[in-house]
Structure 1
């Protein structure tokens, strides 16, 4: 029990130093608040491979003055392409240049996860965010005027508000929401290969998603075009049999064995040393209470089929910035701001979570459903009706908060 705590003025604590946590810290610091980020790992860093940043995310990075750095290490693909992984047929394509840029006001960029994390980490350091590693938060206690987070080695971190950005398996979510992660039964294998080692360069300027029954492969360039990123995802027969170690390399090979030669060649580039079982959670009705609130994957973990996990974390951060700008002079009423934040973001992120699941079902269609999907997509000329809801303006795009914020 912590007694006689003196709460710092307007100090915010962010638990978790991944992309979502750093973005949250960035938005708070830009709002003029002292911020401390605590990360349980011994050093800041990210694992994984590529990220896709839609215009809803790049507009935010641009507002923070980071797009030049993002463009330098990222790639702006020519198209998003959906192909049938069995016969190689192009099913649908979205041009990411020209009208797309004019329509959404910002580019579509693919970037290595570690590169974006490094950009945000540098920006936080330059802005004066306090950064602490080797700190695992065991509990957070609320008081009338603040919060006290306690690490598992007994250190305490008083603050006026605590943001839980501690990912899919968030300990803070366990306390606030009390739900469980949901295994999808799908497993991903990831890999990168130098572009000069890819024999067939056709379509490498695009983001290509090869869709197969209960499986898909995504490929696109990273790191200024120097490497090809490949992700192979499939529903594991072992999972359906109840095996604890499901999704083996043998299953990977078998699932894609009858696919188009270009798909089999792409799958040959993924590493088999590590598998990534895919999980999400049901959308929650709330992520915050009083002075404790979740952001990013802790708040709305989603399957990757719309490439929006990172993008929605950035929207969270930018929305906080807009709400803080709206508050006017004087100290922050954190319970009220937490309420407004969750009321604004819960409906939006719940829609993305649900649609991500649905798009996964479309990608993985089999039998007659696959044939119907292919036939319908062949007649889809204007794909903007499927993208406006995701990429067009949201609360997070407001630049000059001079009018009351609508929560509808």
Structure 2
């Protein structure tokens, strides 16, 4: 059986944000890396994403923060609005002295493709990284000396000292190792996309010009809005719970349900809805936290390890934290298996806590009736400089900070 030439000490499976960040961190730790991606070419789908200061910290560690900042927007505020009344519930000032003193790194919003492109370019430029597309992993065999990967497209075998599985929510490597079945559907769906800011009119244009991240919270639905790509595009994400969900059908979470769920929203939200992209619906999934990220010389990373709902805007952020922690561990431990154990020990508890709290924040966001009234009263008492509720999310793990 033919084999790839092997300077590849570590193989990364998956060429998304987490996989590229992992490859870059591993190479910067002095290891040779081969990254294999099943798609025919590298790319990222979706729209905007939020990069809290913990993600900016990780991007700086990976050497790509300045590149990301060239197209990203640094919003002045995070604003939570009542989707029914149109009243402001609470806000956080991201340009205050309190923010800068507490977090030091910026809060950014960017298009997923822009972040992916920055990481891909850095990987392409690094001499220790080899990128391969069109390689779908079907089998991973390991012993005490290394791992051998086999692929659907050919009989070639790729040997490595160790493997990082960053192949996403439906990770085939995770299933082979953990076998915990399908991810959990939340019964919520998202319609998302970014459109030219110049198409914004009326109150929407005012929101776009403010550059704030707007979250319109309502019963079993919400709308998120913010500018991306230097403010040239406006990202909108409409999320709602479907009454028609069935696990064996894809005929739920439809455009008709979208219109119905947002039908009682305030005028500002209803004005925004026609401009929300309908090209694709995104069912929202997560999994319960697991402890066993490490399996011999194979380790999980990103959504393969800890897929989470989007309500804390931490999915990509936590994958970036994973990558930095993995790179640090590989710097400290010559043997990859030891490094994987140290990396998982640092990351498991924090990632699990964020997974769990993402669900809880979604429940708070989607309250109705008296629950929503109490939420609004409690949150309205906060000042724009009060970051106590989110500081633990936005602050990198202590071990990572101490090592810097």
SS in 2 for 1:356: helix
For residues 311 and 300 of structure 2, the distance between their equivalents in structure 1, rounded to whole angstroms, comes to 22
Matched with 1:405 is none
TM-score, length-normalised on structure 1?
A: 0.93
CA contact (8 A) 2:13 2:35 kept: yes
CA contact (8 A) 1:295 1:316 kept: yes
Matched with 2:120 is 121
Q: 1:65 to 1:243 in 2, by over 3 A?
A: closer
SS in 2 for 1:386: coil
- Which residue of 197, 209, 213 maps to 1:195? 197
Matched with 1:404 is none
SS in 2 for 1:110: strand
CA contact (8 A) 2:188 2:284 kept: yes
SS in 2 for 1:61: helix
CA contact (8 A) 2:30 2:331 kept: no
For residues 289 and 249 of structure 2, the distance between their equivalents in structure 1, rounded to whole angstroms, comes to 27
CA contact (8 A) 1:191 1:269 kept: no
Matched with 1:27 is 25
For residues 67 and 341 of structure 1, the distance between their equivalents in structure 2, rounded to whole angstroms, comes to 22
For residues 71 and 53 of structure 1, the distance between their equivalents in structure 2, rounded to whole angstroms, comes to 11
CA contact (8 A) 1:290 1:334 kept: no
Matched with 1:287 is 293
For residues 240 and 150 of structure 1, the distance between their equivalents in structure 2, rounded to whole angstroms, comes to 35
SS in 2 for 1:203: helix
What is the deviation of 1:399? 7.0
- Which residue of 303, 309, 320 maps to 1:303? 309
For residues 399 and 16 of structure 2, the distance between their equivalents in structure 1, rounded to whole angstroms, comes to 20
For residues 140 and 352 of structure 2, the distance between their equivalents in structure 1, rounded to whole angstroms, comes to 26
For residues 270 and 173 of structure 1, the distance between their equivalents in structure 2, rounded to whole angstroms, comes to 34
CA contact (8 A) 2:48 2:194 kept: no
What is the deviation of 1:388? 1.3
Q: 1:85 to 1:241 in 2, by over 3 A?
A: farther
Unaligned runs of 5+ in 2: none
Matched residue pairs, number? 395
For residues 142 and 397 of structure 1, the distance between their equivalents in structure 2, rounded to whole angstroms, comes to 30
What is the deviation of 1:389? 0.6
SS in 2 for 1:149: strand
For residues 345 and 6 of structure 1, the distance between their equivalents in structure 2, rounded to whole angstroms, comes to 32
**Residues 208-249 of structure 1 deviation map (CA, whole Å, 9 limit, x = unaligned):** 100010000000001100111000000011117985411000
Unaligned runs of 5+ in 1: 402-408
What is the deviation of 1:344? 1.1
